[in-house]
Structure 1
Amino acid sequence: MYITSPRLTHEEMDMLQTNENDTCISIILPSHNNWTAGSKSINLDRSIQKAIDQLNLSYPDSKEELEGKLKHLANNVILEQYPLGLGLFVSEKIEYCVQFPFIVEEKISISNHFELKDLLYKVNYSNPYYVLLLDEKQACLYTGEFNIIHKVQDANFPLIYTEDFEYEKASRTNSYSGRATISSFEKDKSAVQKSRYLSFLKSVDDLLDIYISKNDSQVIICGVKSVTASFLNHSKHDDKIIGVQHGNYSHLNEFELGLLVSPLLLATQEEKMLEEISDLEEKKGEGLAEEGISDVWAAITDGRGYILLVERDYDVKVYYDKSYPLEIQMTPSKQSPGILENAVDKVIEMHLNKKGKVLILNNGMLAGHKQIALITRY
């Protein structure tokens, strides 16, 4: 759940390797169902023009090169592939586009570092999961990230249940014996059907090994209670199952099924966040934590940072003197003439470059810790 180098792409790693001379454009844009038909969107065009206007005002020497890169990247975006939000990241070194499988707020930033919090939030909580949809006829498996899911269609799934029991009509010697014989066959048929369906569910459970053993994936089970109960009673994946949705959902499409399981995922994510806050408070009691942007900045600059926790939309302007990198000020002074518009992304970048871990939490969860906190190494 921590952000670490192996979980970042090469482009994302490059985004962290910025310096004071880089010009970095970050455009984060929600769709909110506002993409227009075709390859263009008024909202996307408007955001790109805002960025170009900012370039012209603040970075005229870089405008021509970066404007060309930004337009090239945007022209190659297929908006239908970004149903909730997208991010465009451009500098002299990279052109990178990312899909956000959750709702984002619009952000347009041009500075010497990229806007990283939404990207890190995605990496923190986008471990793949699976939805297993069961009914009396088949088992369907879906792979998901946040509330975007896709149906698995391969050699294993969907797995169709077939009834192979051959029913033999009873011969009637007399009325009494006939009823008894038919009753016996009906009981046998019912028992065999139950046994065969249980074998089917066990086969489904075995097939899950192929998917969830590859990574730390979790599973959500959906289906009518009688079916899900039978599956759960015989599954060997109890530790991977994070929730069950009871009901007949075979008629739902991928989008609707994603919305159905979304509350379970959000609850699981929030539970993990609360666990991290509990660890923070424990370390604070041991004297191994700093709170607030000024103290966190100083500790990271000093090399004491271990785990950085920050609210997702927390931004703050600070003032600094390049001669004293350990210190930043919240108000301007003659001693601190430099201005850093977004100190939070800068401190995240500094911490990641020192191989630290970062957790992005939901807004308001760090209200008692000045919205940003750091567990220190010593």
Structure 2
Amino acid sequence: MSVVNRETIEKLISETQDVNVTIFIPTHKKGEEGKQDSIRLKNIIQKTKNELIEKGWKENRVDELFKPVYTKTEENQFWLHQDKGLALYVNEQYFDFFKIPVSPKENFYISDNFLITPLLELQNHHNIYHVLLLSQSETKMFKVAPDETTQVKFESVPTSMEEHLKYHVHERSVQHHTGTSGGGAVFHGQGADVDENKKELELFLKHIENKVTKYLKRVNGPLVLAGPDKMISYYKKANKYFNLLDNHIIGNCDTKSVQEIEEESWDIVEAYFREEILSDIERFNDLQGSELISTDVSDIVKGAYFGKVDTLFVPMGFHQYGIFDPNKNRVEISDKLNGEAVDLINYAAISALRNGSTLYGLPQSEVPNNSGLAAIYRYKS
């Protein structure tokens, strides 16, 4: 299993044989429904087997094809850690699978190419970003990647006010006690000590900021802050990292789960990762009336094959079947997937990837002109 990005999809394309099988099923992270996922997979594999036999495959050849799938999916731990969907790619020389964060329609596809269009949505789902949870009890930072969220450990810097005060001596006396919520020491003061308290909190956050910025300058990507208003305000005042997002998660984050951190931070960072998509959609709209854009599937299939497509907008869940003959540069549309017919949307996407085009997998309502496929051309002859 690999993270789904453009390189992953390109590798899939490079592994194709004469006959390739793609299977998608929705899955569940836990609960009673999750217990049915393995049964659901076995059922759709059986349907796939039946179709291969109808196409002339011998039963022992079909069994051999799916042997690595059964070996992997019958492991004890396989079904314990699922996401919203499962994608499997198999031919007689290759097998891989992806636990994906979107719920696909249950489906199988047998063709001379793998079905890669459902994965296009994942490659622009998001790249890596970081979330910094500011807390007097324990300040933590998480690296959020498409496949997992991990904590980034700080070294040589206090991550709580209690540790900070142990190592920083100051002239005025400072009052602190153990708080009743969130654990650890809560730092505060009274009267004239308030200014000193503020200075210590600012110094604590400045030390954190130095460590965070030094780390992030090596890895880049956006940073989301989370925590009480005051701490966020002080941190922003000290911040020197160029990619700190304006919006943040407000409130005590000491007891938040990793899943809550992922969900709340994604609400903030999604717009950042969609800027490029929105920019290209705007570019398409600005070219209305020009020959440099198209929503005609046949025209786009031809253009993608011959390297004319600059940007391709692919609607998720939409299929258009047909046959493309590159020698005659002719497309025949079909209403069914039979004979030599293939999914032309998938064919166009594979051609565009091979020719270095930019691709976006989008809900159909977000594809320009709400169309079945849309493209911006590099040139049109």
Structure 1 length-normalised TM: 0.80
Q: Distance in 1 between matches of 2:115 and 2:5?
A: 20
Residues 178-257 of structure 1 mapped to structure 2, 5 A cutoff? 187=191, 189-241=193-245, 243-257=247-261
Secondary structure of 2:376's counterpart equals strand
Indicate the RMSD between aligned Cα atoms, in angstroms.
3.2
Secondary structure of 2:50's counterpart equals helix
Q: Distance in 2 between matches of 1:368 and 1:204?
A: 48
Distance 1:311 1:331, change over 3 A: closer
Q: Distance in 1 between matches of 2:354 and 2:206?
A: 47
User: Does the 8 A contact of 2:320 with 2:334 survive in 1?
Assistant: no
What residue number does 1:180 align with?
A: none
- Shift, 1:271, TM fit: 4.6
What residue number does 2:25 align with?
A: 29
- Shift, 1:128, TM fit: 0.8
Distance 1:279 1:215, change over 3 A: farther
What residue number does 1:176 align with?
A: none
What residue number does 2:347 align with?
A: 346
Q: Distance in 2 between matches of 1:348 and 1:158?
A: 50
What residue number does 2:51 align with?
A: 54
User: Does the 8 A contact of 2:72 with 2:78 survive in 1?
Assistant: no
- Shift, 1:29, TM fit: 2.4
What residue number does 1:365 align with?
A: 366
What residue number does 1:175 align with?
A: none
- Shift, 1:297, TM fit: 0.7
What residue number does 2:141 align with?
A: 141
What residue number does 1:107 align with?
A: 107
Q: Distance in 2 between matches of 1:6 and 1:312?
A: 16
Distance 1:331 1:103, change over 3 A: closer
User: Does the 8 A contact of 1:139 with 1:157 survive in 2?
Assistant: no
Secondary structure of 1:375's counterpart equals strand
Q: Distance in 2 between matches of 1:240 and 1:104?
A: 34
Give structure 1 stretches of 5+ with no counterpart.
170-184
Distance 1:259 1:322, change over 3 A: closer
Structure index of larger Rg:
1
Distance 1:271 1:121, change over 3 A: same
Residues 152-191 of structure 1 mapped to structure 2, 5 A cutoff? 152-153=152-153, 155=155, 159-162=159-162, 163-164=165-166, 168=173, 187=191, 189-191=193-195
User: Does the 8 A contact of 1:290 with 1:296 survive in 2?
Assistant: yes
What residue number does 1:258 align with?
A: 262
User: Does the 8 A contact of 1:292 with 1:369 survive in 2?
Assistant: no
Q: Percent identity?
A: 19
Deviations 1:19-54 (A, max 9, x none): 6x52111122222343229xx832333333333333
- Shift, 1:329, TM fit: 2.4
Structure 2 length-normalised TM: 0.80
1:307 counterpart (311, 326, 329): 311
Give structure 2 stretches of 5+ with no counterpart.
175-188
User: Does the 8 A contact of 1:130 with 1:141 survive in 2?
Assistant: yes
**Is 2:68 the partner of 1:69?**
yes
Partner letter of residue 93 of structure 1?
A: Q
Q: Distance in 2 between matches of 1:268 and 1:58?
A: 47
Deviations 1:77-113 (A, max 9, x none): 7223323222211112311122313333333222111
What residue number does 1:328 align with?
A: 331
Distance 1:272 1:357, change over 3 A: closer
Deviation larger for 117-126 or 88-97:
117-126
